[in-house]
Amino acid sequence: MTNAHAFTFAKLGEPGEISLQDFAGKAVLIVNVASACGFTPQYRDLEALYEAKVAKGLVVIGVPCNDFGHQEPGEEAAIREFCDTSYHVTFPMAGKIEIVGKDRRHPFYKWIAEELGEGALPRWNFHKFLIGKNGQIAEAFPSKATPLGPTMLEAIDKALAA
């Protein structure tokens, strides 16, 4: 049975890839992000969450996507600069991908659709998937779920304790 550890993402604006296999034994929060969205300020909370929980085994991965409202139109260098200067992002950032185009959808999101159904895929920016230490989907959170809110923190703490 495939799990999240089977997938990789290109790194944002630099050679190499982010292999989810490298995070086996850790909880991973994967968030599709955009620079020009009403939810973009969540970068601040995602960074705070990452800084607070990375030593406990949480990894946050931002995945830029222009599929929702065309709110991530920039090239990868511009996205990287925005994240660095506006929100001082230190968590890993993946290269820009597509989520909704069935023919070009990133394999991770194809897997999400196979596991949870098409309806579980993001419908907007800042949708979040929490992957447990075992590589299985622990929980999904809509865009409105705040990274430092009690619902998300409880789920993350549970995934870290498992």
- Mean per-residue pLDDT, 79-103: 93
At residue 160, the pLDDT reads 97
pTM: 0.96
Picking from 19-28, 93-102, 135-144, which range would have the lowest pLDDT averaged per residue? 93-102
- Mean per-residue pLDDT, 147-152: 97
Q: Is it true that domain 4-161 has CATH number 3.60.20.10?
A: no
Picking from 3-17, 68-82, 97-111, which range would have the lowest pLDDT averaged per residue? 97-111
**43 band by pLDDT with thresholds 50, 70 and 90:** very high
Helix (H) or strand (E) holding 63: strand 58-64
* Confidence check: pLDDT of 1 > 70: no
Picking from 31-45, 78-92, 102-116, which range would have the lowest pLDDT averaged per residue? 102-116
Instruction: State the catalytic residues.
Output: 37
CB 4 within 8 A of CB 137: yes
**Domain boundaries in the chain?**
4-161
Q: Please report, rounded to a whole number, the percentage of residues in the chain having pLDDT higher than 70.
A: 99
Q: Please report, rounded to a whole number, the percentage of residues in the chain having pLDDT higher than 90.
A: 93
Q: Is 55 helix (H, G, I), strand (E, B) or coil?
A: helix
Q: What DSSP state is assigned to residue 95?
A: P
* Confidence check: pLDDT of 76 > 70: yes
CB 69 within 8 A of CB 35: no
40 backbone dihedrals φ, ψ, rounded to 5°: -55, -35
At residue 97, the pLDDT reads 95
